[in-house]
Amino acid sequence: MALVFRTVAQLAGVSLSLLGWVLSCLTNYLPHWKNLNLALNEMENWTMGLWQTCVIQEAVGMQCKDFDSFLALPAELRVSRILMFLSNGLGFLGLLVSGFGLDCLRTGESQRDLKRRLLILGGILSWASGVTALVPVSWVAHKTVQEFWDEHVPDFVPRWEFGEALFLGWCAGLSLLLGGCLLHCAACSSHAPLASGHYAVAQTQDHHQELETRNTNLKH
């Protein structure tokens, strides 16, 4: 039972970490962190991401323009760029490290303690990746809510609203956190037994040693 739990926890942890990493990469580059719908022209919508702004028109389609200057961006977008890059890097490292710690990988079967440490390190990296993905997404969402309900802005001025990328970012962060937790649970559970071939060899060696010990005792 412990072996089944350990295997399922490992595979589920790596799968969730992989899902979270892919979603965090999409969140980083999608230009849909904020949406703006113009009441005067319902056929034109604006979107904003970390790297560019886009206008969507029914006749022309989507046209995007990159931001001219990093320093001219609002503070939340500047910090979000850095944190999302960090999240993508930590998530990739977490997948790489935890992959080498899986029991299904035959390499290093005899080094169980090393594999356990790799799983723990992979879980920590997934946690860090999840946190660094949740912080910028939540910060931008908080600023969007503040600006939306700002009483100093006239009612006829269009307001930015949540874009699809924010929800992807929240899903990415939660997936990475949950994946890291499962990797830690797998590392803290009892170790899996040796593979069947190795177990048979070890059992045969023990049997031979026992016979040699009996023969030695009979001679004496």
- Residues (pLDDT < 50) of the chain are 192-204
d(CA 88, CA 94) in angstroms, rounded, equals 10
Structural domain span for residue 173: 1-33+73-191
Q: Is residue 169 part of a domain?
A: yes
At residue 44, the pLDDT reads 82
pLDDT score of 217: 56
For residue 56, is it within any domain? no
- Number of domains, the chain: 1
**Is 204 part of a structural domain of the chain?**
no
Q: Does 22 map to a domain? A: yes
Asked, for residue 218, whether it belongs to a domain, the answer is no
Is there a domain that residue 148 lies in? yes
pLDDT value for 159: 86
pTM comes to 0.80
CA distance 112 to 123: 17
Q: Which residues lie below 8 Å from residue 183, measured CB to CB, with a gap of 6+? A: 9, 10, 13, 14, 17, 98, 119, 120, 122, 123, 126
CATH of the domain at 95: 1.20.140.150
In the block, tokens 């190795």 appear at 198
Answer yes or no: is 7 within a domain.
yes
Q: Answer whether residue 128 is part of any domain.
A: yes
